[in-house]
Structure 1
């Protein structure tokens, strides 16, 4: 009967340790929003916990109560278990002849230590912690009543420990922190979103949108702009009929106007204003309907450009290079497409970013960002010297390529399929079924 009571007391001590571990991790992991919902539905315990998780000082005291409970139960378990179990094991070890009394006591102590440690860590720490993190609010509510009594009992000890800790920190010239909430950086949020997407917590569309928004906060406008070689512009000397025809033959409703050269853009003209001039048949000049346009540096973050256009009610911005010249342009639609993907309307006739052929070759548009190609096709193409896949191919070849010219980059062979002037419009590469599938999913 002696050994039965000993085992029962050990089980109770491990259970006490498990209780405080559960209470600590469940409370810390509880979401204020869920506790608030439970509180609004009349759950008084949830209201009690909500006040704790929203107040750093109260939460510190609550966690301190758990820590004191864990420490006391662990110490008692160690002292009691070592004393009682050693007395049970020692006679057995002596009977099998393991040497002197000192050796027997040492072996007995080691066996008890290993036994208690295994059960303490497994049943008193790991399992309660994992369960508490899976069902935080439910277990926090279940443990709250006993925790209130524990807080009353342990309050003198907590006061002594907290006071001693603060005094020691001041001696070491460390300022005690009033706040301990962790603020996640965009990079950390991106990792959390990707983990939630991989774990099935987020739907594919939710994951894609959140991922795009967070990546947009880190990208520069240079990475998404329309380069100057692809900009549709017009000189300030152009006649009204010619400008109307230029816009009519394009998918755009606005066009930048430059004086003498494209590096000297003086504003933009809207198709609506041109039609009003034509209908009125008056002598208004293009300069009278010229609208101002903001200029932004190529290093400006996409999110900041978006805020600028949104707050100032602009539809486009001219991107400047480091010398003050025109590097390209970006529209509000371009920025929105970074979040929602390609926004097509009935007038869009743009070539898709990816197109699979019957012979399992994948055609890739030359102006697509290298980062997108790497992400969609699981490649590791260098991004240091070029922004687009067409620019990378051009830099690697080292001259203006001809059609069907091929080049190897990191053991991957790319072929030039279409040119626009001296720029690369389309390339192709031999692709796996998985790459083609990923490309189609990206377009969808």
Structure 2
């Protein structure tokens, strides 16, 4: 074969190898969500790619047959095309044996480099950059190749399937999407500028609804504004003025015996109509939703949906009222912009290395503020105060502190065994180690 014909044949082999490389990487990298969108828009080729991804065995068998066959032919043709002329050129300065050896190696390097660059690297990078666009273009020719090479495809595919089964592995592609996949996609979208940081945080917060307990966002029992059933008109008016809320539980005797709730709008309506305020009037009372304190926020949302309510009383296993929660409380954990003034003050950053945190601050919010993944004994507490009680194994006193990692948690104020404020300070590594050693020595003594 003449050198010119060999060069033409090598160029054709490079094109064929590039085609198979494009077909392989584009099918593997093509995103199913994007392909489904293309199929919904009327691109029948996208549907073919989706079907191929579900059963890719025969497709990749054709790819490997093509790539290996082209590589073998390229080596045979390339060695004959370049080694002779190169050896003759080198023969003018070197011995025949040395010239032949060098000619072979130079020819080998030329052909190999040509295939690596134009038949492998460039096609694969192009396929990774535009996988869906290329996959829909090559799926038709690849299906034709699968028909042409059917006997070989059947032989190699069945052999590979039996080997995989013998090893206990599955050849089926797992396309299940987990919430980790979605979060990773949103993070990538944020880095690429497609999503704003605030939008990405909203998505992260949504997934936390399934793991975050309702107790982390409820208004604690001590802070609940409620009415007794026999409160007179004057008491009701004074309490509304002192503690203006949209909803008030109504109790019989004490807060643990909730008989319903009253909407502030109904009370205002009566005031405007110069009517007396009496909670003995059943027309004012509404049936209250009672939910356990072990529910997650997602479960509470479902309870709100089923009951068509946006207010609930939280009780523990002893039927003792531990707090109340509203739809706004739940949604504020998602949106992050609906927090009331009292919530905004739960975590206050004093400077670059210290925070002032309320004892009832949800531990999830503390972790987010401190940029920590978790704290010790996770799952044993839900608030900042609970964390300190678990770590100290007693009711904390003023000036008590705990060092975790590079953070020092110090109790600043305690009111009737209730932790009001905690100072969190980020320490230098050496300081943190020294404080931890002191705490260990104190515990030993």
Q: Give the TM-score range, shorter chain.
A: 0.7 to 0.9
Partner of 2:71 in structure 1? 77
Contact 2:413-2:421 at 8 Å conserved across structures:
yes
Partner of 2:183 in structure 1? 190
Contact 1:225-1:329 at 8 Å conserved across structures:
yes
How many angstroms apart in 1 are the aligned matches of 2:365 and 2:118?
A: 47
How many angstroms apart in 2 are the aligned matches of 1:349 and 1:211?
A: 24
How many angstroms apart in 1 are the aligned matches of 2:156 and 2:114?
A: 28
1:341 equivalent to 2:344? Answer: no
1:423 equivalent to 2:418? Answer: yes
Match of 1:49 among 21, 45, 50: 45
CA 1:187–1:360 in structure 2 vs 1: closer, same or farther (change >3 Å)? closer
How many angstroms apart in 2 are the aligned matches of 1:164 and 1:406?
A: 66
How many angstroms apart in 2 are the aligned matches of 1:272 and 1:158?
A: 75
How many angstroms apart in 2 are the aligned matches of 1:14 and 1:239?
A: 93
Contact 1:17-1:70 at 8 Å conserved across structures:
no
Deviation at 1:389, TM superposition (A): 1.7
How many angstroms apart in 1 are the aligned matches of 2:403 and 2:53?
A: 59
Could you list the runs of 5+ residues in structure 2 that have no partner in the other structure?
Answer: 428-445
Contact 1:277-1:284 at 8 Å conserved across structures:
no
Partner of 1:35 in structure 2? 38
Contact 2:292-2:314 at 8 Å conserved across structures:
yes
Q: Once structures 1 and 2 are overlaid, which stretch shifts more, 149-158 or 214-223?
A: 149-158
Cα shift readout 1:205-246 (whole Å, capped 9, x = no counterpart): 221121111222333323333333433334444334323322
Equivalent runs, 1:194-209 vs 2, <5 Å: 194-209=187-202
The count of residues paired between Structure 1 and Structure 2 equals: 408
How many angstroms apart in 1 are the aligned matches of 2:364 and 2:175?
A: 30
Partner of 1:20 in structure 2? 20
Partner of 2:395 in structure 1? 399
CA 1:141–1:358 in structure 2 vs 1: closer, same or farther (change >3 Å)? closer
Cα shift readout 1:162-206 (whole Å, capped 9, x = no counterpart): 78888x69x98x9x99x9561212233223323433454422122
How many angstroms apart in 2 are the aligned matches of 1:236 and 1:374?
A: 41
Equivalent runs, 1:204-283 vs 2, <5 Å: 204-278=197-271, 279-281=274-276
Partner of 2:355 in structure 1? 362
Cα shift readout 1:289-346 (whole Å, capped 9, x = no counterpart): 222222223332322211221342211222333344333332100111111114157x
What TM-score do the two structures reach when normalised by structure 1?
0.73
Q: Secondary structure at the match of 1:300?
A: coil
How many angstroms apart in 2 are the aligned matches of 1:117 and 1:260?
A: 90
Partner of 1:296 in structure 2? 291
Match of 1:305 among 284, 288, 300: 300
Cα shift readout 1:373-396 (whole Å, capped 9, x = no counterpart): 223322353233221123223444
How many angstroms apart in 2 are the aligned matches of 1:319 and 1:332?
A: 13
1:378 equivalent to 2:378? Answer: no
How many angstroms apart in 2 are the aligned matches of 1:216 and 1:117?
A: 56
CA 1:377–1:122 in structure 2 vs 1: closer, same or farther (change >3 Å)? farther
Contact 2:61-2:156 at 8 Å conserved across structures:
no
1:318 equivalent to 2:313? Answer: yes
Deviation at 1:142, TM superposition (A): 4.2
Q: Secondary structure at the match of 1:357?
A: strand
Q: Secondary structure at the match of 2:408?
A: strand
Could you list the runs of 5+ residues in structure 1 that have no partner in the other structure?
Answer: 40-46, 98-103, 433-444
Partner of 1:442 in structure 2? none
Cα shift readout 1:380-438 (whole Å, capped 9, x = no counterpart): 53233221123223444533423x55443334223334445432233223359xxxxxx
How many angstroms apart in 2 are the aligned matches of 1:34 and 1:223?
A: 39
Q: Secondary structure at the match of 1:71?
A: helix
How many angstroms apart in 1 are the aligned matches of 2:190 and 2:76?
A: 48
How many angstroms apart in 2 are the aligned matches of 1:118 and 1:217?
A: 54
Deviation at 1:268, TM superposition (A): 1.7
CA 1:152–1:285 in structure 2 vs 1: closer, same or farther (change >3 Å)? same
Match of 2:58 among 58, 64, 71: 64
Deviation at 1:81, TM superposition (A): 2.1
For the aligned residues, what is the CA RMSD? 4.5
